[in-house]
Structure 1
C-alpha cells in the first residue's frame, strides 16, 4: 500500500512540475514578444507603432507615467526582442521602429 501511495505522490509531483514549466514557458514567450516603453499621462503609442507591432507580431507595454523601478530589466527584455527581430526580419525593422523606445539606442550601440 505504501508503494502505491508513493507512486501516486511521485506521479502527482511530476504532473505539477510539468504544468509549472508550461506556465513559465508561456510567460517567457509573452515577455519575448513585448516591447516596453515609457509613456506619460497620455499614451505615447502612435498608429505607426501599432502598425509596426502588427507587422512584426509583437506587443507594446506602455508603463504610463510610472516608470518601473528596475529599468535595466526592461531594457534587457527589449534587447532580447530587438535581437529576435533581427533574426526574423534582418535589419529592415530598425528603419520602422521609433528611436525613443526604452533601451533601443543602447542596444544599437552594442
Structure 2
C-alpha cells in the first residue's frame, strides 16, 4: 500500500510509477474499460457490444477489441457457421480487473457527488 506524505527515494518512486504506467497504457482511452465491462456481463457479438457502448464507432470498436485481445483481456472466438459468427468474452486475466473497475466506479460515483452534487 502506498503511504502518502511519506518520503520515498527516487528508486522507490519509480518502482511505484512504472507498473501504474503499464496498466494505464493497456487500459488507456475512453473505450477499453466500457468494452471490458460489456463482455464481463456475458459473451457478446460485435454488434451487441456496439449497441451497448453509446458513441463508439465500428472502426474504433474493432481496434480496441484487437488491443484487448492482444493483451489477453478478452477472447475472440470464431464459430463454424455460415457466415462465420464471431463472439467476444472476458478472459480469466480480464476478470482480474473486477476489483479495479469496482473501485473506479465507486470513486467516480463519489467524485460526481462531490463535484456536481448528484
- The TM-score normalised by the length of structure 2 is 0.28
The structure that has the greater radius of gyration is: 1
- The TM-score normalised by the length of structure 1 is 0.29
Greater RCO, CA 8 A, separation 6+ = 1
